[in-house]
Every structure is written in structure tokens, then in C-alpha cells.
Amino acid sequence: MTTRADDAPIADAASLGDLRALVNIELARAFSAEDASVAPLGRAIDYSLLAPGKRIRPVLALAAAEACGMAPAAVAKVGAAFELVHAYSLVHDDLPAMDDDDLRRGVPTSHKVYGEAVAVLVGDALQARAFELVATDDDVTPAARVDVVALLARAAGWRGMVGGQYLDIDESRTDHADLVALRDVHDRKTGALIAGAVEAGAIAAGVDAVQRAAFATFGRELGWLFQLVDDLLDATGSSDALGKTPGKDARDGKVTAVAAFGGVDALCAAVDEQLDRCLEAAGALPDDGGRLPAIARYVHGRDH
Amino acid sequence: MTTRADDAPIADAASLGDLRALVNIELARAFSAEDASVAPLGRAIDYSLLAPGKRIRPVLALAAAEACGMAPAAVAKVGAAFELVHAYSLVHDDLPAMDDDDLRRGVPTSHKVYGEAVAVLVGDALQARAFELVATDDDVTPAARVDVVALLARAAGWRGMVGGQYLDIDESRTDHADLVALRDVHDRKTGALIAGAVEAGAIAAGVDAVQRAAFATFGRELGWLFQLVDDLLDATGSSDALGKTPGKDARDGKVTAVAAFGGVDALCAAVDEQLDRCLEAAGALPDDGGRLPAIARYVHGRDH
């Protein structure tokens, strides 16, 4: 895989820093403890929510809104909602009954620190608050807020993220190297929320149905790029780069792109091709997608 | 406790049957499986969601809308959303790491049938779909839907139902017989969703802020009545009436109203007084609350 340094500037942490800063302010506020009796629960939630992360989902929502001419700050709550859902999914996926992970983003997982019962509640509370943030984003029209709530719920729910996790832990499945099955699981588990974040930013900015579909297409291509890169890092990367144990997915017998594509080299080529699809899809967006193509390059090039 | 048969007709199952039927149709539709790969997850969700129940929360939402002159069918999705959140809370509360219950509504709990991992996902999916139902209730204005989403999220979230469950499982607490602490836990864990259902029905019907507050007051009084009766049944009732093991809460060292009020007789008197508060609050509602006072009598008189 080339680094594409010759092609166009790769967005680095600094060039997205303004969007991340807007998001981090919302995240820090989401469970601030004016309510003394549940303040300890708020701190347990903050432990997972405020752990350092790339905030890729909310940054995508803000960048999509910006490409439509809306100030990113106006959709900060909408963006933050996608991070809350992502954070809840990590806390629940890490549970002993699920993936049983002790380490996440380089620190002990919620259930290791607070116990399983609190970790279940942390995830449940994060999900509820996500929808509250969307519903109370006063800079967005009520009609658009309703559309974003429906979109987030679909992306997160039984046909989306939760459905993907269900398929991922289904030990009766034998199609681990089948590309169609792999993409079905990943489109639900990871892709739906990434694509949803892009589309939500555009909805919040008040785009029409045609533009909304174009953002959705870009989002789906980016979600697949994201997952291919993640699987590549799982096969080749270090624990530091991933923030989790490399090779674990493959050892757990889970669907992986390396197996589906027939090796690391073939997967590298697929990752490059997938970036091209993202950039092509961005061409159909207002303002050529604004900062979205740069984010696609950032996803493509991260840590390798 | 008197039966109050001399006072006014008590709503029985039949007189609320039309509202329950509207709700049950929405519940049966919520996870219908046009999506083959996640159909098994839909069936696991239906196992918990469609188990026989009183549907008290959605019935309250529909009755509140009806009292405001809106057709109950128009808020069926809003009502069903509260049942989905209630159902998710039961599935997660029953988990081994939480209350570790094997029996719910007379049948084995979700985690006993499908395993812990699927039970976590069942609850997660129920919560997401609840918000999707509210957001897609086309008979309700977008502005009202946004308000209901925010209300449901607050009622279900870290300061509401999840916060109450957090306080309930906190073994470091020593205020089990303290009435203020008891009501704080119960108002969050149970009251918020019951009061929220009443208020949501009124919001969906488009009431003004003054009427909204009156419905919220009635809902809070009813939520407390509901919990006092539940604690009374826990102390005196049978497994059949409760659908769960009686006396378990007290044996688990949890906050109970019997201890806080100083015995069963004192609690019986408190239950009667609380019904009077509900009926008084209903007097401030449009159409004297329609069927809401009858529902309060039904909650007061159920199974005893």
C-alpha cells in the first residue's frame, strides 16, 4: 500500500483539531454531575467516553455539515451522539459474556474497573443520552432532528450495529472467509454507524433527498474502507497502534478481511482501491465533500 | 386496604382492552423479520417483548392522549416505545451480573434461554428501536416527536431509570429503610418511565406547557403508587401474582417500602393515601383525565 503522500495532503490530527475540540466539549458536558446521587455513575461513564480516541464518527458528521455550508458547531451534539453510541458498543462488546476484553484504548475496560453490572449500565446510559443529545440540538430543525434520531436508531439497532455484533458472536456460522458474509457483518457492525454519522451531518444541515443519498453513498464506502484498514492492522499492526490486542479477531475465529481476500498483499490492494471509491463518491458531494476526502485519506493512511 | 368497589368502577382488563390491542399490534410489528440474516435476533427479542404483560406504560400514554382528544391509535408507536424500554430494562436487570433472575413473567429469562451475550444485545436493540418508533410516528408533529424523544431519553437514562438501577445495586448504601432515599431510587428506576409515558401521550397530543405539567404531576403520583403496590405485593403476594419470586428484593437487602413505612399495615394505609393523591391530580387534567383515574384504581387494586 502506498502512503499517497504524492497525491494530496493527508489530514492529520491538527487539521481536524477544530472539529475534535467541538466534539470533546460536548462529550465532557454530556454527563456532568449536577445530580449528586448519580454522579458516581457519571464518572464511570466518563471513564469510557472521555478516553482518548480519534472521534472519527462525530468528526465525519461535523465535516459533512460543513461541506453543506453549515457551521460545524451547530451540529456538535448530533456528532457527539454518534460517539456516545460507539462508546456504548465498545463497553458492551468488551463484557466477559461478549468478547471478554481486558484492554481498550490502552487502558483497562469498564467491566474490569467498575464490574460487569456497572459496565452494562454505563452502556445503557450512553445509548439513551445519545438520543437525548440529538433531540436537544436546538440549532437543527425539529424535522431534521427527528430524521437523525430515526437514522441513528436504525444504524445502531437490530438491523445495524447490534445485528452485526449478533452475527459476529454467532459461533454456528461457518462462512468466515466469505466476502459477501464478511461485508454484511461489517456493514452492520461498523459501517452503519460511520455511514450514519456522515449522513446525519448532511441531514442536520438540511440537504435534499438527492444530496442525502450522495452522502450516504460516500459514508458506506468510507465505512468499508475503515473496516478493511482495521482488519489489516489487526493482522499486521502492533498493540500500540490498535489500542487492543492484535490478531485477536483471527484467533477468536471471527470473520476477517485477510482470510476473505486471500492474504495481506491482496487486502492491501483492496484498501487502495477502496480509497479510490471513497474519493470518487466525494466528487458527487457539495463543495467536493469539503474535508471528507481528506478524512478518507487519513483513515486509509493511519499508522501504516 | 379497601377494594374501593363502592367508590367507582375499577378498570379491568376488558375496559383497557382496546388500548392494549393497539399496543400489541405495534409490539408484534417492531421486530418483524423482513431481514433474513438478523431474523433469529428478532425472534430472541420477541421472546421477551411479546411475553404476556399488562402494557401499563403504553396504555397510560394512549389514555393520556385520549384525554386530550387525540385518537389513541395515533400515538400507538409512542406508547409502544415505552414498553420497549421497559422490556429492555427487564432483560438487562435479570442478567447474572445484575439481579441474576431465572424467571420473569412466569417464563425463563432471556439470558437463560439465549445466553448472556444475546440477552445484552436484545436489551440494546430494544432501546434503539424504541427511539426509532417515536421518531417515525407520522401522526405526531416533528416538534412533539422531538420532545418525546428527549423525555423518553431522560426518563430512561443515567438520571432516570438507569440511574435508579445503579443506586439499587450499589451495595455500599446503608439507607435501605430511609423513605427519602427509597423514593429517590424508585422515582428514577420505575417512576420516571411511568410518569414519562403519561406525559409523552399528552405531548404527542399537542398540549401546552401548563397541561403538560399537570400530566407530569399525575404521572409522578401514579409512578409512586405503582411502586408502593409492587413492594406490598413483594412482601405479601404470591409468585403467580408477581410473575417473579416474592420477597426476593427484601432478601437481597434492597430498599423496600415495607421497611421504610414500618410494616405492612402502614404501607397499606400509604397505598390508599397515594391513590387519593392520584385521583386529586387527575382532577386537574382535561376531561378529568379520561380513563387515567380508572387506571390508577386498577394499579391500586391489582391482585389484592
Distance from CA of A227 to the nearest CA of B (A): 20
Give the dihedral of Cα atoms B138, B139, B144, B145; nearest 10 deg: -30
Cell numbers describing residue A262: 486471500
CA B304/CA B302 separation, integer angstroms: 6
Q: How does DSSP classify residue B108? A: E
Query: Contact B108/B102 with Cβ under 8 angstroms?
Result: yes
Provide the mean pLDDT of chain A: 89
Distance from CA of A90 to the nearest CA of B (A): 12
Q: Which of A2-16, A25-39, A134-148, B104-118 holds the top average pLDDT?
A: A134-148
pLDDT tens per residue, range A69-87 = 999 999 999 999 999 999 9
Q: What is the pLDDT of residue A34?
A: 76
Q: What is the pLDDT of residue B218?
A: 98
Residues pairing with A103 in the sheet: A108
Residues pairing with A108 in the sheet: A103
CA A265/CA A219 separation, integer angstroms: 25
Interface with A, mutate which of B41, B126, B146 (most A CBs under 10 A): B146
Cell numbers describing residue A247: 490478531
Q: What is the pLDDT of residue B256?
A: 77
Q: What is the pLDDT of residue A106?
A: 82
Q: What is the pLDDT of residue B106?
A: 82
Cell numbers describing residue A65: 455539515
pLDDT band at A8 (very low <50, low <70, confident <90, very high): very low
Low-confidence ranges of chain B (pLDDT < 50): 1-10, 13, 239, 303-304
Question: Cβ A37–B153 below 8 Å, yes or no?
Answer: no
CA A221/CA A282 separation, integer angstroms: 10
Across the interface, which of B38, B88, B97 has its CB nearest the CB of A166?
Answer: B38
Q: What is the pLDDT of residue B225?
A: 96
User: Which of A209, A207, A224, A202 minimizes the C-alpha distance to A292?
Assistant: A202
Higher pLDDT, B11 or A261: A261
Q: Which residue of A has its CA nearest to B165?
A: A121
| Residue environment code for B82-119, b if the CB has 16+ CB neighbours within 10 A, otherwise e | bbbbbbbbbbbbbbbbbbebebbeeeebbbbebebbbb
Percent of chain A with pLDDT over 90: 73
CA A155/CA A221 separation, integer angstroms: 15
A97 touches chain B (CB under 8 A): yes
Q: Residue A5, class by beta-carbon neighbours within 10 Å (0-12 exposed, 13-18 middle, 19+ buried)?
A: exposed
Question: Cβ B128–A157 below 8 Å, yes or no?
Answer: yes
Q: What is the pLDDT of residue A253?
A: 55
| A 7-46 near B (Cβ less than 8 A) | 31, 35, 37-38, 40-42, 45
Does residue A103 sit in helix, strand or coil?
A: strand
A175 touches chain B (CB under 8 A): no
Question: Cβ B124–A120 below 8 Å, yes or no?
Answer: no
CA A95/CA A116 separation, integer angstroms: 7
Q: What is the pLDDT of residue B8?
A: 43
Across the interface, which of B125, B134, B157 has its CB nearest the CB of A129?
Answer: B157
User: What residue segments make up the domains of chain A, in order of their start?
Assistant: 14-301
A196 touches chain B (CB under 8 A): no
- Which ipTM value was assigned to this complex? 0.92
pLDDT tens per residue, range A147-203 = 999 999 999 999 999 999 999 988 777 665 688 888 999 999 999 999 999 999 999
Homologous superfamily of domain range A14-301: Farnesyl Diphosphate Synthase (1.10.600.10)
